[in-house]
């Protein structure tokens, strides 16, 4: 988590030269490094913030969204903001490995922002990343405790027993 937050803060403040060891980069004609970043689930709070920070730092930012997001007015406004800021919207789903493979082929960094209850749904994304073989950095949506080392309340035991 610390490595992710550090990378996020660097992205947020545009200090891209400092993250060369974390991400693969492309140098554009004026010498500024730019990264190709795929953000999975950009219509939630976490994903939207990550996509906005990536665009603010002038990175090529691809946003993977489900087709149902376009019909939701709140999500649609977020998507329009990202497009207006230079984001590239890709339609796909964590449950469609074909769309994931196509999306992953276009980038060298993948950031997943699914909520904690969908952590296990990242498996097809990980499989797509392995198939592509060109991803320099994958930042999963995994910011919870290790269920094998933590006492879990009865409320979430079902989720954590599947995770461990």
Q: In what order do the strands lie in the sheet with 137-139?
A: 88-91, 60-65, 36-40, 109-112, 137-139
3-state secondary structure of 85: coil
Is 163 considered catalytic here?
Answer: yes
Catalytic site residue from 32, 33, 136, 163:
163
Report residue 78: phi and psi, to 5°.
Answer: -60, -45
Contacts of 2 (CB under 8 A, 6+ apart): none
Active-site residue set = 163
């Amino acid at each position: 988590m610390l490595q992710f937050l550090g990378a996020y803060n660097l992205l947020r403040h545009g200090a891209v030269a400092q993250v060369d060891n974390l991400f693969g980069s492309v140098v554009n004609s004026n010498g500024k490094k730019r990264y190709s970043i795929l953000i999975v689930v950009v219509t939630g709070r976490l994903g939207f913030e990550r996509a906005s920070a990536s665009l603010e730092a002038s990175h090529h930012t691809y946003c993977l969204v489900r087709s149902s997001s376009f019909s939701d007015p709140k999500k649609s406004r977020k998507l329009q903001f990202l497009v207006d800021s230079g984001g590239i919207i890709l339609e796909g789903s964590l449950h469609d490995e074909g769309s994931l493979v196509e999306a992953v082929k276009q980038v060298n960094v993948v950031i997943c922002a699914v909520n904690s209850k969908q952590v296990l749904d990242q498996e097809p994304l990980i499989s797509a990343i392995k198939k592509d073989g060109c991803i320099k950095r994958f930042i999963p949506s995994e910011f919870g405790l290790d269920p094998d080392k933590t006492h879990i309340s009865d409320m979430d035991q079902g989720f954590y027993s599947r995770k461990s």
